[in-house]
Chains A and B, each alone.
Chain A
């Protein structure tokens, strides 16, 4: 178990700067998820932590010691690759033993570690097989097993679940969380999938364009997104955004529609252009007032329903309601805010007025 600090990490590929000075501390035993859209620099950042890539500026510290010049194998880390990167010509056992043999570890200790890892990951019956004879999920377990046998200070994962089907992904998510609880190890996990981030992380670091947009616990990010990007990225279905203008007394106006009451923390001044952000689960239907619109499509999930509405001004909203709904396509509805609303300044996407969160 180890802690990690990044200090002003910069990475450039030729003239292109892809990591713009990242500062971050990961505590011992913490499960941190780097999340962001594809190409935002997650893998690059992880590879610099691993020692497979060198930063052009800044320092990587493990347990307070600068490790920039240390080779990957000497950093006490282990990594699960997106492709698993299992050695195809070796059996599962040989795959697990390979790194340990490099350390000239005693055979008895190698056997013990492989035995423990295989039992923990339920791959004991696969030890004599080659990776080509395994299913995707089994390969995934072997790849994780290979890191477990190393007993690393920090586990690194680069989109490890992206090659699995949806059902297996959910299952492996649960198992990875369990593994983390059990090993109490420091884990850094990279994904573009906000659901994985929300379900597994102690702390989420949202990246965009090589910068940290926000870091915090899943619920902090959900309840108090630092800007429009984080608000839109975290939460599924995605937050609804509407261009609006503030009115006095915690109201906003969207185009020529009736004013909408906003449960914001602070008083709204008059005439400020904002982007109104409301999650689908925080919208509701009312008889009078509210924003008029027409139902496009209704998705009945049984336990909950998604209602897709087009407003009078052409904007589209997603409304998520618990249980089942009597609405159907073509119905006229009026929409109100029933939970938290977020007001972002139009220009920067920063919160103009702090949201008030319903307890």
Chain B
């Protein structure tokens, strides 16, 4: 017999489950155990997803699904309705296309920057150096912060009378409207989002680097391999599976970017930093008229893109597992 608080608790919750098992039979017990999770998943994930499809093919501003008239693909047609598909201003929903364009640029710069910075950080943290454990923790720390906290910290740094401008002024410069100038604001959304997430990707890459046997580096040393060649011919090829996972994960999450940026810039100035998820949110919930159908249709389009990216990610991790097995 085991003692201690854990044993006490387990004895206390033992009898109801035993009674339940006697009533239902052992074969039905698994369903009992998954039921709570399934309930939460059903209410907060599955049902809204199904409901979203209904909203996407119905119109009007009514909230109740039953009150909404069926409009077929009209919402999609409206989103895609442009006289010239290369000029955003000619589109009926130009805010949608502006958000799509902003998101595309954001994703390109954010993902490239994120992957490169994470890689360099992982390479450095993988070296033998003093305080290595401390630095690993430091780089991971922002991942643990709530997005709102991240945004507020950076707002405090970037606002006109913020910390960064204090430094600029102290060095004889003039204040820069970091969050009020469209280009600056765009750049800072990228920087902040990289800062907030790089710890996670650094961790994945660090794990990949540590999985490379040190023997290989010693063999390369015996072979008289130059450092640059070791990096390109040994480290990079063996890190590739992890790089793929990081790349695709970063892509998916960049497309979904919303919370930090919404708190940091609110999408502004103007629509300079309004990305697609914010467009959906505002169309559905924040504008005076809640155009639920349009928002639902837009979210289905984003969902389609994410689905493709997720399939890529699955393929990438399957590839990673295969090459792991071969090692």
> Which of A51, A102, A132 gathers the greatest number of chain B CB atoms within 10 Å?
A102
Q: In whole angstroms, what is the CA distance A74 to B224 when docked?
A: 8
Chain B residues closer than 8 Å to A88, beta-carbon distance: 238, 323, 326-327
> Does B326 lie within 8 Å of A98, measured CB to CB?
no
What residue of chain B has the Cβ atom nearest to residue A103's Cβ?
A: B224
Is B216 close to A, CB under 8 A?
yes
> Does B224 lie within 8 Å of A102, measured CB to CB?
yes
Is A85 close to B, CB under 8 A?
yes
Instruction: Output the least CB separation between B296 and chain A (Å).
Output: 46
Q: Mark B198-241, 1 if CB is under 8 A from A, else 0.
A: 00000000000000010110111111111001000110011000
Interface size class of A (residues with CB under 8 A): 20 to 34
Chain B residues closer than 8 Å to A50, beta-carbon distance: 222
Chain A residues closer than 8 Å to B327, beta-carbon distance: 88, 132
What residue of chain A has the Cβ atom nearest to residue B237's Cβ?
A: A89
Q: In whole angstroms, what is the CA distance A73 to B220 when docked?
A: 9
Instruction: Output the least CB separation between A129 and chain B (Å).
Output: 11
B-contacting residues, A144-163, CB 8 Å: 150
> Does B229 lie within 8 Å of A81, measured CB to CB?
no
Chain B residues closer than 8 Å to A74, beta-carbon distance: 224
What residue of chain A has the Cβ atom nearest to residue B238's Cβ?
A: A89
> Does A87 lie within 8 Å of B219, measured CB to CB?
yes
> Does A72 lie within 8 Å of B229, measured CB to CB?
no
> Does A85 lie within 8 Å of B216, measured CB to CB?
yes
Instruction: Output the least CB separation between A152 and chain B (Å).
Output: 9
Q: A72-B221, A99-B224 are in contact. Are A83 and B326 (CB under 8 A)?
A: no
Partner of B222, one of A52, A83, A89: A52
Q: A102-B229, A130-B326, A132-B326 are in contact. Are A85 and B224 (CB under 8 A)?
A: no
Instruction: Output the least CB separation between B182 and chain A (Å).
Output: 45
Q: Mark A83-124, 1 if CB is under 8 A from B, else 0.
A: 101111100000000110011000000000000000000000
Instruction: Output the least CB separation between B231 and chain A (Å).
Output: 14
> Does A99 lie within 8 Å of B218, measured CB to CB?
no
> Does A78 lie within 8 Å of B222, measured CB to CB?
yes
Tell me what chain B mostly uses at the interface: helix, strand, loop, or mixed: helix
Instruction: Output the least CB separation between B214 and chain A (Å).
Output: 9
Q: A83-B213, A89-B238, A102-B226 are in contact. Are A73 and B221 (CB under 8 A)?
A: yes
Chain A residues closer than 8 Å to B237, beta-carbon distance: 89
Q: In whole angstroms, what is the CA distance A81 to B224 when docked?
A: 16
Q: A99-B222, A99-B224 are in contact. Are A85 and B326 (CB under 8 A)?
A: no
Instruction: Output the least CB separation between A80 and chain B (Å).
Output: 10
Instruction: Output the least CB separation between A115 and chain B (Å).
Output: 19
Is A254 close to B, CB under 8 A?
no
> Does A52 lie within 8 Å of B224, measured CB to CB?
no
Chain B residues closer than 8 Å to A79, beta-carbon distance: 219, 222
Is A201 close to B, CB under 8 A?
no
Q: A98-B233, A130-B326, A132-B327 are in contact. Are A87 and B216 (CB under 8 A)?
A: yes
Q: In whole angstroms, what is the CA distance A74 to B226 when docked?
A: 13
Chain B residues closer than 8 Å to A130, beta-carbon distance: 326
> Does B215 lie within 8 Å of A81, measured CB to CB?
yes
> Does A81 lie within 8 Å of B219, measured CB to CB?
yes
> Does B225 lie within 8 Å of A81, measured CB to CB?
no
Instruction: Output the least CB separation between B290 and chain A (Å).
Output: 54
Q: In whole angstroms, what is the CA distance A85 to B212 when docked?
A: 11
Q: In whole angstroms, what is the CA distance A127 to B63 when docked?
A: 68
Is A40 close to B, CB under 8 A?
no
Is A77 close to B, CB under 8 A?
yes
> Does B221 lie within 8 Å of A102, measured CB to CB?
no
Instruction: Output the least CB separation between A132 and chain B (Å).
Output: 3
What are 22 A-B residue pairs whose CB atoms fall within 8 Å in the complex?
A: A52-B218, A71-B221, A72-B221, A73-B223, A73-B225, A77-B222, A79-B222, A81-B215, A85-B213, A85-B218, A87-B234, A89-B238, A98-B220, A98-B223, A98-B225, A99-B224, A102-B225, A102-B226, A102-B229, A130-B326, A132-B326, A132-B327
Give the top 10 A-B pairs by smallest Cβ distance, nearest first. A73-B224, A99-B223, A132-B326, A85-B215, A85-B219, A89-B237, A102-B224, A83-B215, A72-B221, A88-B327
